[in-house]
Amino acid sequence: MKKKLLAQIIFIIFVLVLWQVLFELKIWPKLLFPSIPMIGKALVKAFADRSLGQMILHSLGLLVEGLIIGVVLAFLLSSLSSINEQTAAVYNMIVCMFDLIPGIALIPVAILWLGIGDAAIIFMVVHSVIWPMSRSIIDGFKAVPRIYTEVGRNMGLKGMGLVFGVYLPASFERLFSGIKVGWARAWRGLISAEMVFGGGSALGIGYFITDRRTNLDIAGIFATIIVIVLIGLLVEYGLFRTVEKNTIVKWGMTH
């Protein structure tokens, strides 16, 4: 465990040093290839003077809002679709079709229907979340072992009680993987959308990186990329791993 971490740290240091050496060799103009200290300074400046922190919070706020709407809608639609085999088949088709559309391809629709702004971003996040989440719910519920539902019914659970008491926890691994896929897609989609909108009221991290390009601030661009990576790592290791450790790993339900 410690050895692996050490190797990873050594690798990062190696890349940083190599980068700086390449910079010192002056192969490319400074305007296109910034030094490590330049990126560091840009990073500080982004937060201190250009309110990147606020923009990140704004982006994440939209993301969480869209995630919640997407998950709730996925539950509602998946439940409604389970009324009979025909509705299930239709919803299954809808999920398959819409799941194939990259979020970014829906931006023109979002702009025309909802205008440039937060609503369009949320629309895209919901799109990114709802289909993989529906897939997880439908497959996850189907895969719940019969013995759990029978034990639940034996205890007197039925209807929604059975859903919350047995189906949800028993399929948690799949539901959570649906959320993870949804988050990954939404996060990418959100940054793309903000880059396309490039301003207006959509002042998020995607806007920030486009704005740095317009200003020919290459150090600022790399600084933003680093921030995007760090947020991804924080969510993956800080949030998702912690949730998993306290649920499916603790319950011995990982495969």
Partner 1 sequence: MGDDTLNTEPVLHIANLHKEYYNPTTLVLSDLSFDLYHEDFLCILGPSGCGKSTLIRCIAGFEKYQGVIQIKGKDVEGPGTDRIMVFQDFNQLFPWKTVLNNLTYPLKLNGMTDKNERREKAEEYLDKVNLLEYKDYYPHQLSGGMKQRVAIARAMALGSEIVLMDEPFAALDAMSRNQMQDELIRIKEKEKMTVLFITHNIQEAISCGNRIMVMGKNGSIIENMKNPIEKPVTPASAGYGELWKHLNQLLRDNK
Q: Please identify, using beta-carbon distances, which residue of 63 and 162 lies nearer to partner 1.
A: 162
Give yes or no for residue 153 binding partner 1 (CB under 8 A).
Answer: yes
Please identify which residue in 46, 74, 170, 202 interacts with partner 1, judged by CB under 8 A: 170
Task: Measure the CA–CA gap between 143 and 167, rounded to whole angstroms.
Answer: 9
Give yes or no for residue 160 binding partner 1 (CB under 8 A).
Answer: no
Give yes or no for residue 150 binding partner 1 (CB under 8 A).
Answer: yes
Q: Please identify, using beta-carbon distances, which residue of 62 and 248 lies nearer to partner 1.
A: 248
Please identify which residue in 24, 86, 156, 255 interacts with partner 1, judged by CB under 8 A: 156
Amino acid, single-letter form, for residue 216:
L
Please identify which residue in 95, 125, 138, 166 interacts with partner 1, judged by CB under 8 A: 166
Q: Please identify, using beta-carbon distances, which residue of 102 and 145 lies nearer to partner 1.
A: 145
Give yes or no for residue 154 binding partner 1 (CB under 8 A).
Answer: yes
Q: Binders of partner 1: how many residues, by CB under 8 A?
A: 21
The upper half-sphere exposure of residue 169, i.e. CA atoms within 13 Å in the direction of its Cβ, equals: 14
Q: Please identify, using beta-carbon distances, which residue of 86 and 154 lies nearer to partner 1.
A: 154
Ramachandran angles phi, psi of 178, nearest 5°: -60, -40
- Residues 6 or more apart in contact with residue 98 via CB below 8 angstroms: 127, 130, 131
Give the closest residue to 137 by CA, choosing from 196, 191, 225, 73. 73
Q: Please identify, using beta-carbon distances, which residue of 88 and 253 lies nearer to partner 1.
A: 253
Torsion of CA 160, 186, 99, 197, to 10 degrees: 130
- Given a contact cutoff of 8 angstroms between Cβ atoms, the answer to whether 193 and 102 are in contact is no
Task: Measure the CA–CA gap between 11 and 51, rounded to whole angstroms.
Answer: 31
Ramachandran angles phi, psi of 130, nearest 5°: -65, -40
| Least spacing, CB of residue 172 vs partner 1, in Å | 7
CA geometry: angle 63, 243, 247, nearest 5 deg: 140
Provide the terminal-to-terminal Cα distance of the chain, rounded to the nearest Å. Answer: 21
Give yes or no for residue 253 binding partner 1 (CB under 8 A).
Answer: yes
Give yes or no for residue 148 binding partner 1 (CB under 8 A).
Answer: yes
Q: Please identify, using beta-carbon distances, which residue of 154 and 214 lies nearer to partner 1.
A: 154
Give yes or no for residue 53 binding partner 1 (CB under 8 A).
Answer: no
Q: Please identify, using beta-carbon distances, which residue of 30 and 158 lies nearer to partner 1.
A: 158
Q: Which residues bind partner 1 (CB under 8 A)?
A: 145, 147-148, 150-151, 153-157, 161, 165-166, 169-170, 172, 247, 250-253
